[in-house]
Structures are given as structure tokens and as C-alpha cells.
Structure 1
């Protein structure tokens, strides 16, 4: 582990990745392609094991993963999971290490995790990402960062490896997470609109492909519309972003809106749809499985 002074900044920092699910494993592989030394840990070790073939050191404990690392990246489901990982890693943590906290955890958890990091002597960067499975695997995420800019030289190789764009939002942790909630609001509303259009087409007896053909190439078309619709029509709902995770993020958005007095009718409706789809067994599928929450209900002729 090196200090963050200019004279001691490593050209290729050692990175500990805590959390190797859909996003974390993709980010770890992007770091490895950039030539960085990566230690990977996941609570369920089987999820981290495949990274060994890509060159990562897969550790049995979070403590082992962070010991001697320059940068610690956390990519887990929620604030409680990140807090638990930090508790597990604490014996191996060293003062001056940078914690790049990339999980979407909301406003309150960000403040709590920043304090926990400070108690461990870690430099906390609030660094959620925009993007799903494919951008994570391609190193093409957008990373929002807020925190002390003094550590930029140390973390830049990490940010450049996982993202095609880094947006520095401010010096205080929390600003990046607030921006991420706004971005996720756009994504959640968009996926709900796609699902409802497909639902209505089905209900009216219209071939959904006709709708997509009309939209294709026009000003309202998008790769997202075409890609998510194709997933539904093909029946391949392999998650690039799981519906249960989208529901978690939707609840974080609604909590943030409530505390500021903002009313988000569309997001509230999306939360209801995600909940129904999850209860119907679609939580582990891609978030476009919200489609199943709105399919036509067969009416009893009696």
C-alpha cells in the first residue's frame, strides 16, 4: 500500500474489488485488461472464482482482499451489504487507502458509509456508475464521483479502466449519489414506458414489432427501446440489470423525493409494477420483466 502523496503514487494501483456480481465482475475484468493488479472477493465465493482465469487473485476473505491494496472498489446490492463488507475487511484496511464506493445505496447510506470509512482512516469517494452488464464488461461505464480531488492521480487509472467517462460532481461525498438517483429516474421511467407500450400492443392485438418498426430510425427511437423490446419478444430476460435491483433503486429514489417534497408519480407507478413482477417470480430477470406486471388479464365470459 502506498500513500497518496505525489511522489508515491503508483502508476498501476492495486485494486481490491468487493462484490463480483453482474457489475462487479465486469468491472474487475476491465481493470485486469488495463493491466492492474486485482484482488476479488465475494460473499458467495463461487461468483468470484471465474475471475481467477482472467488473472485476478480471488481471496477467501474481504480482509485478505484489501490488505495492501491502494484502492478498494465496492460494488454490492445496497448500503447494508457494503457496510457488512467493510466490517469484514476492516482488519486488513490501512489508513490512506481509497474507498471507491460504486454501489447505488441512496443518500442516507452514503453518509453512513462515508463516516464508517472515515473511522477506518479510508479516503471515501462516492462513485456510483451508470450502465449495465455490457458497459461494465467493456469498461464503458459512466462514473459519477464526489469526494476529495487530491486523490484523483491515484484513482484515475481505475476510473479510466472501468469507465468511458468520469464526471467529477464535487468535493463532498453524496453529490454523486444524488445525481445517480436522477439518472436512474430517467432509466426507470423509460423501461416502464417500453413495457407499457408492449403491453398495450398485445392487448389491442397489434404485433409489437409493428410498433418498433414505426419507431425505428425516428427522433423517438433509441437503442434502449429496441434492445429491451427485443429481450421481451425473444423471451431472453438474462439480466443486464436485475428487476429486484431496479426495485431497490426505485425505492431509494422515492425516499429521496419524499424528503425533498417532490412528487414522482411515474416512479411510484414503476415501483408498483416492479413489485408485482417480483412477486410473480421475475425478480432475478432483467428489469424489462416489468412487462409481465402489465400483460392483459383474461376476462371471464361468465
Structure 2
């Protein structure tokens, strides 16, 4: 390892974290990864990264720590535990949380990290597994201007759109809005596809023309083919989108904001999960529309 390399610890090597870590290796960073499943760290080592035995081991010599974890309690445990970031990261190191968690938790953890002189930014991502693999993620970043600029080279290595959206927690708030839009759009695309099928229209031809007009959107571009084929290998799991919509509905309630369509989609996502489809891609909302229409 050359001494002039920036060391980046990546905690959480799942569907998103693993390709992000690989892209950091490709960008020339010294990347050390930790994941509860050792198979994930072994895959990173095969791509030129290093493996850590614990969170403490990963972060103790890191210049930058990136967390990509499922939910708020997971991030809290990694940040605040005895083996965690606050207790073991170096002063003035930079913690980038790319997880999607509650904005209020993000603000609180950033404050706690700051008391130990650890700089913190929240930088949740959008773009799914494909975006992570292609390093084309859209990243919404909350934190101080100086800390965001310090994080920008790392974020530029994994994303193509990196925007500072406000102070600590603002990135998570924008991500909540993103998840609201994505879930609503998936539901409407699912309904449109079932509607087309019911009328005997060629769905692939219909999607081609719809994608070229005002109805065009990324869901049609990236998800429609799988929805038509009823193939739902996860790029972003129902379980996680269900969690995200819980964040949205809670934050909207706290702010006194009405999200009637969002609330319905949150219930539909929850119903899909309750039917045992939590491990499928969120585009599996198509299955629920089929069922509700008596077409499954």
C-alpha cells in the first residue's frame, strides 16, 4: 500500500455497497471493507481491496469511512457501539453515510460524531444496483459546505450527480422524497402494464412509445422489461422500500404534510411484503396489481 493513497473504509458490502467499494478501488483508493458475511469481503479482496475483521479494524486507520447499511438501527450500532466509528475512527477523519435512514437520526449521529472531531455528511444514493455498478448514482448530500467538498472526490468516484442539498440530515430528507416519487411511479407503471394486458395490447410496443413521450421516466427505461416478463431479481428489495416509505410517512406526519397518494403506495408496498415478497425487487408491485385485478 503506497503512503500517498487515501484509505477508505467501506462498512456494508451488500447490493449497493459492494459495487461502490469496487469503484473506489478502480478510482485508486486504498479500500478496506467490512461486512458481517465474510464472502462479501472476500469478493472485494478479489477486486483489489482489503478485508477488515471488524468495524474498529476497518476504521481505525481510515481517512474516510463510508457506511452503506439497511436501516437506522444498523447505522446507530456501527457508529455508536464500542467497536464503532465514534470510538475508533481518527480525529478529523470523514464519515460519509450512504445509507437511507431517518433524517432525525442522521442529524443526531452527525452531532455525536462531531463531538469526537469526526466530520460527518449524509449522502444517500439513488440509481439502484445498476447505478452502483456503473458509478452513475445520484447522490444527495447533507452537511457543512467544507465537509461536503472534502467528501466530493470519493462521491464522484461512485456517482455522476453529486449535489449538496443542505445541512446535516438534508440528504436524507431529499432521499425520502426520492423514494416517494420512485414508489409512486413504479405503482403507476405496474397499473399501466396490467391495464394494457387486459386490453390485449403489446406491452413492449406500448412501453416504447410511452417512454418517448411525456410519460417517459426511468422506471419505464429500467424496470418495465422485467415487469412485463414478471422477473423480479432484486436491484432494490421490497423490504428496503417498505422501510423507506415508513421514513417518508413518518417525516411527512411530523411536518404536517399530506401525502395521500404516497400513503396508499406505502400500504401497497407493505401488503406486497406481507405476502412474502420482501426479497423481490420493488417493481414486483406488478404482482400485487395483477392480484387485485384478478389476473394472477
Fold in common (TM above 0.5): yes
Structure 1 SS opposite 2:84 = helix
Q: 1:70 Cα shift?
A: 0.4
**1:7 — aligned with what?**
none
**1:122 — aligned with what?**
118
Whether contact under 8 Å (1:49, 1:58) holds in the other structure is yes
Whether contact under 8 Å (2:142, 2:148) holds in the other structure is no
Q: Among residues 255, 258, 261, which one is paired with 2:253 in the alignment?
A: 258
Separation in 1, partners of 2:30, 2:93: 15
Separation in 2, partners of 1:216, 1:84: 43
Matched, 1:273 2:268: yes
Identify if the C-alpha distance between structure 1 residues 74 and 80 changes in structure 2 by more than 3 Å, giving closer, same or farther: same
Q: TM-score, normalised by structure 2?
A: 0.90
Whether contact under 8 Å (1:231, 1:237) holds in the other structure is yes
Q: How do residues 89-104 of structure 1 correspond to structure 2 at under 5 angstroms?
A: 89-90=84-85, 91-104=87-100
Structure 2 SS opposite 1:295 = helix
Q: 1:267 Cα shift?
A: 1.1
Q: TM-score, normalised by structure 1?
A: 0.88
**1:288 — aligned with what?**
283
Separation in 2, partners of 1:127, 1:210: 38
Q: 1:241 Cα shift?
A: 1.1
Q: 1:120 Cα shift?
A: 3.8
Q: Among residues 180, 184, 192, which one is paired with 2:187 in the alignment?
A: 192
Query: Whose RCO is larger (CA < 8 A, sep 6+)?
Result: 1
Structure 1 alignment gaps of length 5 or more:
1-9
Q: Among residues 23, 29, 46, which one is paired with 1:30 in the alignment?
A: 23
Separation in 2, partners of 1:125, 1:297: 42
Matched, 1:63 2:59: no
Q: 1:205 Cα shift?
A: 4.6
CA displacement 1:31-89 (0-9 Å, x = unmatched): 01101000111122223321110011111211111011001001101111011112232
Separation in 2, partners of 1:145, 1:212: 33
Whether contact under 8 Å (1:118, 1:124) holds in the other structure is yes
Q: 1:25 Cα shift?
A: 0.7
**2:239 — aligned with what?**
244
Instruction: Calculate the aligned-residue CA RMSD, in Å.
Output: 2.1
Structure 2 SS opposite 1:35 = coil
Structure 2 alignment gaps of length 5 or more:
none
**1:6 — aligned with what?**
none
Separation in 2, partners of 1:162, 1:54: 16
Identify if the C-alpha distance between structure 1 residues 258 and 292 changes in structure 2 by more than 3 Å, giving closer, same or farther: same
Q: 1:298 Cα shift?
A: 7.8
CA displacement 1:196-226 (0-9 Å, x = unmatched): 1123333445443353244242232234214
